[in-house]
Amino acid sequence: MSGRNDDPAGIPNETRLFRRIDPTKIVYDKDRKERRPTSQNFQNSRGETTMSIFAENVAVAHLETPADFLKGRWSSWYLVAVTAESMRKYEQKVYLDPDNQDPDDQHPSHAAVDGSKDSKLRPKLAAEYEWIVAPVNRYDPPE
Amino acid sequence: MNSGGEKMASLALRNLWRPRTLTDRRNDIATITFPASPVGLTPNEIVDQKPETINLIVEFGNEVRLVRFSVPGMSGRPWLSPTVLRAGRLLSLPYDWDREGAPPVDWTTIQTAMNALSQIMSHNSSLAQWTPTQQSGVQLDWHENGVDLEIAFEPGESEGYAVFSDRNQPDADWDGPLGDHMVALHELLRERLAS
């Protein structure tokens, strides 16, 4: 654990959290009738206890748009949203984390979802997704 | 007397006649027992256990690679060829495919997954969807008929790890090493994750 505290004041429960989705980690869900991110998209970064996200309330305050999170090396990736509440209900801490970013990929809204995410929990986190920037073949079944 | 009786019994057991063949014709009893298969299949359901190979040509950047999978019997398994094609696509992922320095997908995890599928799939099972894991292993997903099932195979692990949930029965969820759930998986893939 990072030792940081949950921050419901800075990131209230109703806040949407944007998460980049790897285009190689998308599958078709016959029940939802659309492609969806796999649970592997909801892992902590290697060697860390946190998963990077962007808090919509801070993004709006800084005039950031979803497209801003998908520039450069992320241009082929997609974006989903989950709410802060949906992460907290699984014992995850949510707080702003603007200092923990790559130099070439800086966003004021950068935040962290902090906590253990084991094989059993990841599918539950993934099931909370809402597409923000979806693949063009979103509704196409697999070949 | 007691100790002598015990000695006699002991000798009798030691000299107990045991059949050398599976059928004891002299006593007109059959001693044939079918060895339990890992998935609890009856012998009639095991189509073929003789390994065969599938060759797959994968373009990997400027390279073209020949990948050879060993699979235990192809006849009666319509899911096998499309599954190999899906799996093979993962082998074309280059270094740093996740933008975080991931190495290419470990082909041994694909072989482990194919071995597992050969034990749990039925002829009418829905195909798994293959994606890479953070550790460059593979994950198989099924999402249909109210079932969410995923099985991850990671490098260095001898078996996969399955997570099952039923959207209509949240209390029925389970997860664990594949070996602990083979019967349940075979039943799922024969009945609910099937066409």
How high is the ipTM of this complex? 0.94
pLDDT for B78: 87
DSSP B36: P
The model's pTM is 0.81
pLDDT-derived band at B58, boundaries 50, 70, 90: confident
Length of chain B: 195
Instruction: Give yes or no for B175 touching A (CB within 8 A).
Output: yes
Are A24 and B93 an interchain contact pair (Cβ–Cβ within 8 Å)? yes
Taking the C-alpha atoms of residue B75 and residue B45, their distance in angstroms, rounded to an integer, is 12
Q: Is B106 on the interface with A (CB under 8 A)?
A: no
Residue A7: CA count within 13 A, CB half-sphere: 15
H or E stretch at B10: helix B2-14
Domain coordinates in residue numbering, chain A = 16-133
8 A C-beta contact, residue B129 and residue B140: yes
pLDDT digits (tens, 9 = 90+) for B172-194: 999 999 999 999 999 999 999 99
pLDDT at site B49 = 56
Q: Which domain holds residue B170?
A: 46-191
Q: Which two tokens stand for residue B169?
A: 């029965």
User: Coil, strand or helix: which one is B161?
Assistant: strand
Residue B41 included in any domain? no
Q: Does the beta-carbon distance from A25 to B131 stay under 8 Å? A: yes
Q: Helices H, strands E: what count in chain B?
A: 4, 9
Q: How many CB atoms lie within 10 A of CB B111?
A: 17
- Confidence band, pLDDT 50/70/90 cuts, at residue B28: very low
Domain membership of residue B80 (yes or no) is yes
Tokens of B35: 């060895």
pLDDT band for position B2 (50/70/90)? very low
Backbone angles phi, psi at A18, to 5 degrees: -90, 135
Measured between beta carbons, which residues in chain A are less than 8 angstroms from residue B161? 119
> Given a cut of 60, is residue B26 above it in pLDDT?
no
Judge whether A109 and A118 are in contact, CB under 8 Å. no
Instruction: Give the residue among B152, B145, B107 at the shortest CA–CA distance from B125.
Output: B145
Distance from CA of B104 to the nearest CA of A (A): 13
* Alpha-carbon dihedral angle through residues A7, A8, A10, A16, given to the nearest 10 degrees: 110
Residue B117 C-alpha, separation from nearest chain A C-alpha, in angstroms: 18
Chain B contacts in chain A segment 78-117 (CB below 8 A): none
**Residue B102 contacts residue B136 (beta carbons within 8 Å):** yes
Confirm if B189 and B121 have CB atoms less than 8 A apart: yes
How far is residue B27's CA from residue A7's CA, in Å, rounded to a whole number? 79
Count of the separate structural domains present in chain B? 1
**Residues near A21 by beta carbon (within 8 Å), at least 6 away in sequence:** A37, A41, A77, A78, A79, A80
DSSP B56: E
Show the beta-strand stretches assigned E in A1-143: 16-21, 26-29, 34-37, 50-55, 78-83, 93-96, 110-114, 130-133
Q: Which residues of B touch A26 (CB under 8 A)?
A: 131
Q: How many CB pairs under 8 A join A and B?
A: 62
Asked whether the predicted pLDDT for residue B46 surpasses 50, the reply is no
CB spacing of A31 vs B145 below 8 angstroms: yes
- Ranges of chain A whose pLDDT falls below 70: 1-2
